[in-house]
Amino acid sequence: MAIPWRPGSHGPPFLAPLLAWACLLLAAAVPAADSPFERPAELERDVQFWVRIYTEVSTDQGLLHDDWNLAVVYEKLDFGRDQSPRERSRIIDREKARYRALLARFAAGDTANLDEDEQRILKSFGDTASPAVFRDAMDGVRFQLGQANRFREGLMRAGIWESHIARTLSQRGVPAEVAALPHVESSFNPAAYSKVGAAGLWQFMPSTARRYMRVDSLVDERMDPFTATEAAANLMLYNYRLLGSWPLAITAYNHGPGGLLKAQTDLGTSNIATIVRRYNGATFGFASRNFYVAFLAALEVDRNAEKYFGHIPKQPDAESTTVELPDYVPISALSGAFKVDLGALRALNPALRPPIWNGARFAFVVITAHGVHPTGVGRKGEAAGTGWPGVSPGKQRNEVLVPVGHASEAGFDLQAPVNQATGLLATAQKGFVTGEVVVPQAVIPGHGGRCEQGVPAFCDPVQFKADMRRMVDELSAV
């Protein structure tokens, strides 16, 4: 079997892969028949490279490898936890130089007196590799930091949002497998920022995010895992409708749909393996070329987590229900009502940007038994919206923002929705920021058996809504 070479290189290297690779390709994992994400045998060596990165190599380690043939791994580097990034960079640069010198020897035909490790590297290129192949490889020595510990942490965090992600993908007709993509993008870290400006669980760039979310000086919804999940599903569906292929839709999430359309046109195919191996677009570099195989590896590890990591104690998911308040609420009022200091609220609500926290603006938020969800902002003194949206028992959110204990201390039992709304609006006065209070389903009419506990206010949804409207009207008249 011939392994494709770098586009524009001097010919096909690696024409004699090791027998182990041949066996691996024959036994390559194939997705279920109804899965839209093919796993071509030609890409299996790359999938296995990323499985290794995600499960065996930690962030205190990394692999020096060929940037095209991921079966060629020169060395696994180990770093001390006390080593600075600068020290690590020096080690990486030194080792890269050493392997480039070795490849120059191979290119010059000097293959005598090799030690065992050097023989292994030479053999990984195959018996027919030409001097030109080794010269090309000199420019392709690359370092990949390990991700195993981050992947495991991501598996634990994923439990918080799994049900919301699954529900959102299903509602939009996006394959369930896409739920594994945040492992590649952010390790399920909603606060993640990349060096190029991508942010959040789904790593949206600002320009793309603004097509689906609010991103400005006051609110950055990329940092809200729930809103960002809905945006990611919409973007993925857009990519699929444009490209007609789910593997290409995944790749376009990284490279952009325009770039993949060009690849389809240039190569005359939608075959993902052909595009990954043969497309030579100016910006179709290592990250884009490996995005789909990294996704397949993440999907493999996610679905077989215990095989790779043992038992994973996932963080729990919690549902909540929304009660909307038609007036402005300052952050300080929320802090007081929930008995949570502003620092804790800020750490738990990263979508609200500094002007909200320093008092220059007031947040239009969703307060949950587990958190606060930003949905808009207003200036101090701005008029509140009119109308009373009422109770929305069907609106589900999985916020993990304000600790449950604080919600309980704030009185989220029995008459708490009325009491909390009264307290927040009384503190806010008129003309601050409108908000939505999200409380446990147990305190909403028809949810959780409050009638059985002898609390009449929770037996009649119509009466509950009328009581809330009367309370707001009374406050507005003050």
What residues act catalytically? 185
- Please tell me the distance from the alpha carbon of residue 24 to that of residue 373, in angstroms, as a whole number: 47
> Which residue in 54, 47, 93 sits closest to 71, CA to CA?
47
Do the bridges between strand 361-368 and strand 141-145 make them parallel or antiparallel, or are there none, so unpaired?
unpaired
Distances (CA, A) of 436 to 44, 276, 442: 49, 47, 17
Contact 296, 37 (CB under 8 A): yes
- H/E segment holding residue 306: helix 305-309
The phi, psi pair for 322, rounded to 5°, reads: -100, 135
In 369-470, at which residue ranges do the beta strands (DSSP E only) sit? 371-379, 391-397, 434-439
Contact 294, 184 (CB under 8 A): yes
- H/E segment holding residue 52: helix 44-55
Structure tokens at 126: 């195959």
Contact 464, 391 (CB under 8 A): yes
Q: What is the DSSP string of 130-164?
A: -HHHHHHHHTTEEEEE--HHHHHHHHHHHTTTHHH
Identity (one letter) of the amino acid at 265? T
